[in-house]
Amino acid sequence: MYLMFKTWEKHPSGSWCWESDGVGAMTQEIENLFQKLLDDIEWYLRSSKHSEEAGNVVYDGFATLADKMKEFHIHAGYKYNGESGMGRMSVYFRDMISHFESVRTIRDVETPIGLRLFCFALIHTIPILLAPYWNHFCVKQHNWEIIENKYGCDAGYFICIIY
């Protein structure tokens, strides 16, 4: 999408900006906008806390990009938004938002909640389930004799607590 902005912009004289090794005004604005949008997305995805404001900043960047797309058809030499590749640019824009939504869903909903529940269940149930297995080692060490201790083998409980 960025390359569409960069290669389709025309000078007021009618020649393409890339032919004259110049950078159009719209291209420079879009480059800054894309850089800010990518920085905002990276900041949102790397932050450890769920922040609604950070998500809103990303959506504001997408809204600004959509406004620039509406203005761009004049800079590309077309009279209407649907001419030439402008429709393709809109599809790419829709795909960008869709993929951001997919990543956001995985980050905010599925992974943290599922991982927390799995870790909670694992940490709280495994010691209880494996305590008899650890006691089995202690009994095996004492040549399969019954241990007179009231609670069984101390080492099994010790391993359970340490785990």
The yes-or-no verdict on residue 92 having pLDDT over 80 is yes
pLDDT at 154: 67
pLDDT at 131: 74
Residue 72: band (very low, low, confident or very high) from pLDDT cuts 50, 70, 90: confident
- Cβ-contact 153, 144 below 8 angstroms: no
Pick from 44, 70, 69: which is nearest to 57 by CA? 44
Q: Which two tokens stand for residue 111?
A: 């992974």
The yes-or-no verdict on residue 96 having pLDDT over 60 is yes
Query: What 3-state class would DSSP assign to 51?
Result: coil
- Compute φ and ψ for 10, nearest 5 degrees: -115, 150
pLDDT tens by residue, 14-30: 666 655 666 666 778 88
- Cβ-contact 40, 58 below 8 angstroms: yes
pLDDT tens by residue, 153-162: 666 667 667 7
The yes-or-no verdict on residue 81 having pLDDT over 90 is no
pLDDT at 82: 60
The total of other beta-carbon atoms located within 10 Å of residue 124's CB is 9
pLDDT tens by residue, 124-148: 888 778 777 777 776 676 666 665 6
pLDDT tens by residue, 29-69: 888 899 999 999 999 888 877 777 888 999 999 999 888 88
